[in-house]
Amino acid sequence: MKHRYLGSSGLKISELVYGNWLTHGEQIEKDAAIQCVHAALDAGISSFDTADVYANTVAEKILGKALKGQRRESLEIFTKVYWPTGPGGPNDSGLSRKHIMESVHGSLKRLGTDYVDLYQAHRYDHETPLEETMTAFADVVRSGKALYIGVSEWTADQIRAAKHYADELHFPLVSNQPQYSMLWRVIEAQVVPTCVELGISQICFSPVAQGLLTGKYLPGKPPPTGSRAANATGASFLKRWYSPKNLQAVQGLRPVADELGLSMAQLALAWVLQHDYVAAAIIGASRPEQITENVGASGVAIPADALSAIDEVLAEIIVTDPLKTIEITPATRPS
DSSP 187: T
No. of helices (H) and no. of strands (E), the chain: 13, 10
Distances from the Cα of 266 to the Cα of 271, 295, 296, angstroms: 8, 8, 6
- The three-class DSSP label of residue 4 is strand
Q: What is the distance between the alpha carbons of residues 27 and 134, in angstroms, rounded to a whole number?
A: 34
Q: Which of 183, 207, 181, 223 is nearest to 284 (CA)?
A: 207
Distances from the Cα of 199 to the Cα of 195, 264, 274, angstroms: 6, 31, 18
Question: Is-catalytic flag, 54?
Answer: yes
Q: What is the distance between the alpha carbons of residues 221 and 260, in angstroms, rounded to a whole number?
A: 27
Q: Which of 54, 180, 217, 277 is catalytic?
A: 54
- How far separated are the first and last CA of the chain, in Å rounded? 40
Q: To 10 degrees, the CA torsion angle through 11, 12, 14, 16? A: 60
The number of C-alpha atoms within 13 Å of 22 and in the hemisphere containing its C-beta is 21
Q: Are strands 47-49 and 16-19 parallel, antiparallel or unpaired?
A: parallel
Where in the sequence numbering do the catalytic residues fall? Answer: 54
